[in-house]
Amino acid sequence: MRDIATAPVISAQNLNLTFQTGDGPVHALKDVNLDIAKGEFVSFIGPSGCGKTTFLRVIADLEQPTSGTISVNGLSSEAARKARAYGYVFQAAGLYPWRTIAGNIKLPLEIMGYSRADQDSRVKKVLELVELSGFARKFPWQLSGGMQQRASIARALAFDADILLMDEPFGALDEIVRDRLNEQLLELWARTEKTIAFVTHSIPEAVYLSTKIVVMSPRPGRISDVIDSPLPRERPLDIRDTPEFIEIAHRVREGLRAGHLDD
Ligand SMILES: Nc1ncnc2c1ncn2[C@@H]1O[C@H](COP(=O)(O)OP(=O)(O)OP(=O)(O)O)[C@@H](O)[C@H]1O
C-alpha cells in the first residue's frame, strides 16, 4: 500500500484504448504509464490525434480503457466521477447564452442539489478566483472570448474539486489574451493548490505552465517523453526568454519531432 500523502492523484498503468471504427481499429492510447502527484501542473502536448483528449476522457470516466488501469484519488474513474473529484474545462467555453454568467456557473450546482445559499456563495468565490466578480449578471455574449473562458474555468471550480482537467482551453484565443490567461491560471493554481492536467498544442504554453510536460506521439498514441521542469513555481512571463526555458522548449520540440519520424 502506498502512503496516502505520497500516493499519486492520478495513476495510469499499462493503459491501452482501441476504438473500433468502420475503417478498422484506432489505437488511441498504447501502454500509457503515468503518475501525477498532488499539486502538479501537467501538460500533454503532441500532434493532432495522438490521444491527448482521449487520455483526459479516460481520467474523467468518459471513455473506458481496453486494458490497463486508471485511478483517480485512489478510486476507480467511475467512483471518482461520482465523488466529483475533478472539474472539466473544454476548448470552447460552452456557456448557455440565455443564462447569465452566475446562472451558468450555478447550473451544475442546481442539478446536484446544492442549496440556494451555497450556490450563491460558491459563485461569488469562484468569480473572485477568476477575477470576474463584477460580471455575475452579464450574459456570455457581453464578455470577450478570454473572459468567457475564465467563466468556464469558474464553472469547473464551483464544486471545489481538487483536480482540474483542461482540454486546450485557450487554443482559440489570440496570443496576448492567452499570455494573460496563462499568468492568471498559474496564480489560481498557486492559490488553490489544485492538481491540473492540461492539453495544449503550444510548446511555450506547455513549458510556461507545467511542472511536468508529457510529450505524446501518434499512431498509436503513446508517451514519448516526460520532462520534469526545473523552472521555479513562481514564473513571470519573461522567464520565457531565459536559457533554462529555451532548453526545455528545445527538448519538447525534439520529442515531438522524434514522434513524427516514427510515422
Ligand atoms: N469515439 C471515437 N471513436 C473512434 N475514434 C476515435 C474516437 N475518439 C477519438 N478517436 C480517434 O482516436 C485518436 C485520438 O484522438 P484524440 O481526440 O484523443 O486526439 P488528440 O491528441 O486529443 O487530438 P487533437 O489535438 O486534434 O484534439 C484519433 O485518431 C481519433 O480520430
pLDDT digits (tens, 9 = 90+) for 76-102: 999 999 998 998 888 887 899 999 999
Where residue 242 sits, what CATH number does that domain have?
3.40.50.300
pLDDT (mean) for 54-62: 95
Looking at the chain, the whole-number percentage of residues with pLDDT higher than 70 is: 96
Q: Which of 160, 185, 203 is the last residue of a domain?
A: 160
Indicate which residue's Cα is closest to atom 12 of ligand 1. 28
Q: Among candidates 117, 191, 143, 149, which has minimal Cα distance to 109?
A: 117
CA dihedral of residues 29, 198, 156, 183 (deg, nearest 10):
-170
**Dihedral of alpha carbons 174, 94, 192, 85, sign:** negative
pLDDT for position 13: 96
Q: Has residue 259 got a pLDDT over 80? A: no
Q: What is the 3-state secondary structure (H, E, C) of the chain?
A: CCCCCCCCCEEEEEEEEEEEECCEEEEEEEEEEEEECCCCEEEEECCCCCCHHHHHHHHCCCCCCCEEEEEECCEEHHHHHHCCCEEEECCCCCCCCCCCHHHHHHHHHHHCCCCHHHHHHHHHHHHHHCCCHHHCCCCHHHCCHHHHHHHHHHHHHCCCCCEEEEECCCCCCCHHHHHHHHHHHHHHHHHHCCEEEEEECCHHHHHHHCCEEEEEECCCCEEEEEEECCCCCCCCHHHHHCHHHHHHHHHHHHHHHHHHHCC
Q: Which of 136, 160, 184 is the last residue of a domain?
A: 160
Q: Among candidates 155, 173, 172, which has minimal Cα distance to 164?
A: 155
| Ligand 1 atom at shortest distance from the alpha carbon of 44 | 21
Q: How many CB atoms lie within 10 A of CB 175?
A: 11
231 versus 1: the higher-pLDDT residue is 231
- State whether 219 and 102 are in the same domain: no
The phi, psi pair for 85, rounded to 5°, reads -75, -15
- State whether 34 and 3 are in the same domain: yes
pLDDT for position 115: 94
Domain with 245, as residue range(s), is 1-85+164-263
- State whether 179 and 260 are in the same domain: yes
- State whether 48 and 128 are in the same domain: no
Looking at the chain, the whole-number percentage of residues with pLDDT higher than 90 is: 67
pLDDT (mean) for 137-141: 95
pLDDT for position 3: 55
pLDDT (mean) for 55-69: 95
Indicate which residue's Cα is closest to atom 6 of ligand 1. 19
Q: Which of the listed residues 44, 52, 90 should we mutate to test ligand 1's pocket, taking the one with most ligand atoms within 8 A of CB?
A: 52
- The number of distinct structural domains making up the chain is 2
CA distance linking residue 8 with residue 228, whole number of Å: 15
Q: Which of the listed residues 48, 56, 64 should we mutate to test ligand 1's pocket, taking the one with most ligand atoms within 8 A of CB?
A: 48
Instruction: List, in sequence order, every residue forming a beta bridge with 227; answer none if it has no partner.
Output: 213
Indicate which residue's Cα is closest to atom 24 of ligand 1. 48
pLDDT for position 261: 62
- State whether 2 and 64 are in the same domain: yes
Q: Which of 135, 160, 185 is the last residue of a domain?
A: 160
- State whether 29 and 155 are in the same domain: no
- State whether 111 and 232 are in the same domain: no
pTM over 0.95: no
pLDDT for position 5: 59
pLDDT in tens, 13-50: 999 999 999 989 999 999 999 999 999 999 999 998 89
> Can you tell me the ipTM of this complex?
0.96
pLDDT (mean) for 71-76: 94
Indicate which residue's Cα is closest to atom 5 of ligand 1. 19
| Ligand 1 atom at shortest distance from the alpha carbon of 201 | 25
Cβ-proximal residues to 111 (8 Å cutoff; 6+ apart), any chain? none
- State whether 16 and 104 are in the same domain: no
